[in-house]
Amino acid sequence: MSDDEVDQELLVLLRKSLGIANGSVSQPPETKVLEGAEYVYDNAIDVALDPQGTKAAASTIWALMQSKGYSTKAWSSHELHPQTRDAAAVDFIFTMDLLNFCFWSEGTSDGRFSVNYRGKTWTGYWSLVAALHRALDEEIPITSSDFWQDRGECTDEVLRYVFRSATKEQIPLLEKRMACLREAGQILYERFQCSFTTCIREAKGSAAALVNLIVENFPCFRDEVKFEGKKVRLYKRAQILVADLWACFEGESYGRFDDIGKITAFADYRIPQMLHSLHCFHYSPPLDHHIRQLRPIESGHSWEVQLRGCSVWCIELIRREIVRRNPGVAVNAILIDFFLYDTMKQLEAEGLEAIPHHRTRSIWY
Ligand SMILES: Nc1nc2c(c(CN[C@H]3C=C[C@H](O)[C@@H]3O)cn2[C@@H]2O[C@H](COP(=O)(O)O)[C@@H](O)[C@H]2O)c(=O)[nH]1
């Protein structure tokens, strides 16, 4: 072999050992959600972050999280969350976060969609979780993708029965929820041996890679929007799915991710409400009035994107402030977000909501 040929051979071997294919260094996976959230924050004119409020919120949140010993254990402490750590829990969490959107009601609080289960009346997110448990108790395999695929067994009538309400109001967007189940069932069957555990294995321990795999393969998770000329990725349900796995399995087994810190807060309708109540947010007068009048905001509208993107960015700033004041602490956007959601639900239960949440009907959150 000539000297050149030897050099070429060595270069090929070196590239292989460094995992460099055809000259490009393989970059670690990124979701680009935080990049998009910062872009929204930089270009928002109806939602402004209050630096003092955000700093004060960081110390309040951290003090409360510490006093409560808030950790991934809080996830399983909710009586309706899966208590096992097995493939059945993965199926339950996938089904739950496939449908984890849009529970708010036009009507008064007592007429809203709710589910009676284990002697309690559940509303909002918990009504979904309760309905899934109720179906399983009734021998309806609602967390099985094979079942979603079986048009003879899994009929529209059966799904209407699964999500039946204790009130006259049915679950919002029922037809879209049915479509999500059938679409996901088809994709799991065609590409992932009928199980989401295959997706987890293909992500090879990367949370970001799993989020990207989910949004690339499942259109009903592809939560992205055009804002001021740029595609902004929010990926709320794809991210909360990964976060729920991580919390349920406490970072082990199907919840083991080396880069869980890349998961951001979840851009829903509760977090903006909580951040406004914590004086981290200020709304422009037109937006403030619109929200207080309980008027709907169309999915994709600039106001909606500003509310969602600024929420994700604000919780990143809160996280950075907590870490700055407490170097080396193990806090991430997920735990801050989970804590804020649970706290918001307590305020709601006590009738202490300072401002309504915004009202957008969509499958994205
Ligand atoms: N940002 C964020 N959004 C969350 C959750 C959860 C529940 N997560 C559980 C898991 C760990 C936590 O400790 C919680 O126990 C639901 N949601 C969203 O809120 C809306 C439902 O509101 P309401 O109708 O009032 O129940 C809807 O868009 C739903 O997708 C969260 O944690 N963070």
Give the least confident one: 13-17, 129-133, 185-189, 343-347: 13-17
Segment 266-294 shows an average pLDDT of 96
pLDDT at 50 over 70: yes
pLDDT the model gives residue 19: 56
Confidence band for 18, pLDDT divided at 50, 70 and 90 = low
Residue 23: its pLDDT value, please? 52
As a whole number, mean pLDDT of residues 242-263 equals 98
What average pLDDT score do residues 47-70 get?
96
Q: Can you tell me the mean pLDDT for 156-172?
A: 97
Q: In this predicted model, what pLDDT tens digit does every residue of 196-206 receive, in sequence order?
A: 999 999 999 99
Q: What is the 3-state secondary structure (H, E, C) of 137-185?
A: HCCCCCCCHHHHHCCCCCCHHHHHHHCCCCCCCCCCCHHHHHHHHHHHH
Which of 114, 248, 266 to probe ligand 1 with, by most ligand atoms within 8 A of CB? Answer: 266
Ligand 1, pocket-test mutation among 341, 357, 358, most atoms within 8 A of CB: 341
pLDDT at 1: 73
E strand or H helix at 231: strand 230-233
Q: Is 103 in the pocket of ligand 1 (CB under 6 A)?
A: yes
| Both structure tokens of 75 | 């996830």
The pLDDT of residue 2? 76
Query: With b meaning 16 or more CB within 10 Å and e meaning fewer, what string describes 291-321?
Result: beeeeebeeeebbbbbbbbbbbbbbbbbbeb
Rounded CA separation 239/36 (Å): 15
Q: Which pLDDT score is estimated for 242?
A: 98
Alpha helices (runs of H) in 231-292, residue ranges in sequence order: 236-248, 271-277, 285-292
- E strand or H helix at 227: strand 224-227
CA of 29 to the centre of ligand 1 (A): 26
Which pLDDT does position 353 carry in this prediction? 84
CA of 231 to the centre of ligand 1 (A): 25
Asked if residue 138 has pLDDT above 80, the reply is: yes
- 101 touches ligand 1 (CB under 6 Å): yes
**pLDDT of amino acid 109:** 66
Q: Is 75 in the pocket of ligand 1 (CB under 6 A)?
A: yes
Protein residue closest via CA to atom 7 of ligand 1: 125
What number does the ligand 1 atom closest to the CA of 344 have? 25
The ipTM of this complex is: 0.99
Q: How far apart are CA 133 and CA 137, in angstroms?
A: 6
Q: Coil, strand or helix: which one is 209?
A: helix
pLDDT digits 0-9 by tens, 289-324: 999 999 999 999 999 999 999 999 999 999 999 999
Q: Please work out whether the CB of residue 269 comes within 6 Å of at least one atom of ligand 1.
A: yes
User: Which of the four pLDDT bands, split at 50, 70 and 90, describes residue 274?
Assistant: very high
Please tell me if the CB atom of residue 202 comes closer than 6 angstroms to any atom of ligand 1. Answer: no
Model confidence at 8: pLDDT above 70: yes
The catalytic site residues sit at 268
- pTM score: 0.93
In the prediction, which pLDDT does 273 show?
95
Average pLDDT, rounded, for the chain = 94
Question: For position 16, what pLDDT does the model report?
Answer: 65
Position 225 confidence tier, pLDDT thresholds 50, 70, 90 = very high
pLDDT of residue 15: 66
How high is the pLDDT of residue 244? Answer: 98
Rounded mean pLDDT, 182-186? 97
For residues 142-168, give the mean pLDDT: 96
Average pLDDT (188-195) is 97
Mean pLDDT of 45-69: 96
- Is the confidence at residue 283, as pLDDT, over 70? yes
Ligand 1 center to 24 CA (angstroms): 40
